[in-house]
Amino acid sequence: VGSDLSMELLKYVGVCDVVRCCATKLPFRSESHDHMMSIAVAHHLSTPLRRQSALSELVRVTKPGGSILLYVRSSETRELIHQGAIPIENMPPNDILIEWRRGDAPLARYHHLFEKEELLGLVAALPVTVNSFEQEKDNWVVVMTKILQ
């Protein structure tokens, strides 16, 4: 099952069932999925509380012993800055807008660039074991296993 808040993006998914929902309140039963993936989601959430909530939801719906894959934008590589990133006034420097094209119309999309220690702190608050934590291009990639309780 795939999910996204954007109906437009869900139209591009053709390999599985999809549901429209917010990452901070997934419409699935607790411990109902063997595996969860969150790719390019949490860095679009505009507050630390919303980011923590999205990660907590991933863990909530994962069965004990199940795996979770997380991809988020990294602050470690500044290639994004050279791709037309726009700082947001009165926001921390890691909160930026990045131009994204949809057809001919450019859109400015919010991105939070995660510091390594920040992401490690969010993950440390979860009932998971971290199997790997690495950087891949502009992203942090975290593979976790939900702790058996």
Output the six-digit token pair for 80.
């994004």
Per-residue pLDDT reduced to its tens digit, 62-111: 999 999 999 999 988 766 555 667 778 888 888 988 887 767 777 888 89
Question: 83-92 long-range CB contacts below 8 Å, 24 or more apart?
Answer: 85/111
Full-model pTM: 0.87
CB-based contacts of 43, cutoff 8 Å, min separation 6:
51, 72, 73, 111, 112, 113, 114
